[in-house]
Structure 1
């Protein structure tokens, strides 16, 4: 998408948020921002959805198989068989729950606004589920898939992964010919293209190839934490120029290398995305369950203890000399945000940091709403 189109989208987004009331002066009511989370999961306890205060969220419904890599590290492959079953089961759960609606178009967000319901947009973290033919994309779409990630950590037949490494230590593998065909099919089906976990070159290639806005549903900023899983400014800028959004997630070891993670570190990530891509590119993501990282909650957010579950995986990537794994992680979550009410807490933090109401509204939901309405039609 060219910069001119992006400016048009930005104008439309701002107009929707800032349009004045007409006619008689309405009685003042408490302001309720729109809360949209860029990635979480269907909870076991559906009451968690209401407790989160979310109007909508992108919901990873995929199922995985553990696959040992040739070098001994482990990847998690989302196979066609596993994901067809998981999306069928997720659809049944959502349709059976009165407090939820399955999000099929961006306009579904308008339907839940003020209703007490939440729109759930199905996402799969990795295109490995498209195994035999692009017609499988159509099958997933018919069951409600509305967001597809090209890959997860490591590359596949479609895309290069953020954690890929060859003998030269390359972390920049491109979109493949099959990947270009997949991008075209996703555009045709109005499925939102997600470049989370992609290599820099794959992300740039995908944005250039796409006829629609592209997102990174969940990630962090490499200029703050120099790590392969964090995105360079080139990717943030390209996503913004496509009219998409960049969702900053809750995994604190990719938000700051400081020993004690705080909400200020999270705000610094949001501010950097705004500086590079503009305010319309900034969004919120989770990448943990709605309640938060469950093991850390059980440990009363004791990061020193909780980080231990990540260390074997971390050391395996350090041995491959992948960017950033030489730094020892000492935390997993920002304690005050590892909470089911994180969206309200982030919103309050934005206002406390000097963001205007209209700006904070965009960040916590308005920007996601714009993209979903643009692509999911």
Structure 2
């Protein structure tokens, strides 16, 4: 849940009307915990995760004729039969548990069915691919391995998007269940540390998991990413110069230049939709068609999507793009959700864990 209620069709990429229009049968909504909550004293990460989960539950309760609170594959099948959307909850950012296995168990009891082990910030037990605010970029600690083991015991998906390379390989060595990358693209094409190398893709395939390809243009196209970085650097230099002037209102300047930076970035030419198809195709070729899915990151990429992809109602364009590449209907069905449904059946459809 990344934006306030009231978004219309001119804002964001997903809302209830568009979700229903899209034909999607099941959707993970992320209880996203920004890095700033981990910097609060006392730590605000747990409270933020709880508030986000409460918001998702309230959203589902408001629309019982359209939505189903989902925790298993059976809920997806029921949603399909009834013409509804099954809503799963994932928690994005392992700092949300504030180093507590008891809180991890509580998240599961509240309906969360995946945990992204880090966000752009590492935490005390897992490293991030970015390591903002000087946070960890190393591997899993012993406690981190205990988190993975507990998720395996509960029947909760381990999400390796955002994690550092060393944490990724530690997870693969530790987890006894298939893992997912909820929103990651191919580093061989995108070149971004948030993307996954070919060796990682093959490791997820051997593990039986799924890599859900991210739609963020910065992760897809190195030229677009470089242009974005250049714009932000130029605006940052201008902001710094303005802030050095006597009597400068730094708070006002910061907001003004952030707005200017966003406007300039959004004016840049976007990579074509075919580049997103390239990433999906690459993951399918390297990991296998049984190990690729869609991880849009809608409402989490500041609207920076490939040209020709506006929102969730445009997902059929991806299906057509894959068919045009020669993939069969059966292949495309797997990529559009069949592979994730298989992993959900393996990991989530077990009997409730004992206390």
Alignment partner of 1:274 is 2:274: no
Alignment partner of 1:150 is 2:117: yes
Aligned length: 293
Q: Over the residues paired in the alignment, what is the CA RMSD in angstroms?
A: 2.7
Alignment partner of 1:178 is 2:143: yes
> How far apart in 2 are the matches of 1:132 and 1:95?
30
Q: CA, structure 1 residues 357+42, in 2 after alignment: closer, same or farther (shift >3 Å)?
A: farther
Kept in 2, the 8 Å contact 1:225–1:254? The answer is yes
Alignment partner of 1:363 is 2:335: yes
What are the ranges of 5 or more consecutive residues in structure 2 without an aligned counterpart?
7-14, 225-269, 350-355
Residue number in structure 2 paired with 1:140 = 107
Residue number in structure 2 paired with 1:307 = none
Q: CA deviation at 1:115?
A: 2.1
Deviation sequence 1:242-272 (CA, Å, 0-9, x none)? 1110011110111112454112111111111
TM-score, structure 2 normalization: 0.76
Q: Which has the higher helix share?
A: 2
Tell which has more relative contact order, 1 or 2 (C-alpha 8 A, sep 6+): 1
Deviation sequence 1:23-70 (CA, Å, 0-9, x none)? xxxxxxxxxxxxxxxx9989755223202221001110234462698x
Q: CA deviation at 1:198?
A: 0.3
Equivalent residue for 2:88, pick from 99, 110, 121? 121
TM-score, structure 1 normalization: 0.72
Q: CA, structure 1 residues 272+166, in 2 after alignment: closer, same or farther (shift >3 Å)?
A: same
Q: CA, structure 1 residues 119+78, in 2 after alignment: closer, same or farther (shift >3 Å)?
A: farther
What are the ranges of 5 or more consecutive residues in structure 1 without an aligned counterpart?
1-38, 297-331
Alignment partner of 1:66 is 2:36: yes
Q: CA deviation at 1:352?
A: 1.6
Q: CA, structure 1 residues 256+125, in 2 after alignment: closer, same or farther (shift >3 Å)?
A: same
> How far apart in 2 are the matches of 1:155 and 1:171?
5
Kept in 2, the 8 Å contact 1:213–1:375? The answer is yes
Counterparts of residues 233-244 of structure 1 (less than 5 Å): 233-244=198-209
> How far apart in 2 are the matches of 1:42 and 1:208?
39
SS in 2 for 1:355: coil
Alignment partner of 1:91 is 2:63: no
Q: CA, structure 1 residues 365+176, in 2 after alignment: closer, same or farther (shift >3 Å)?
A: same
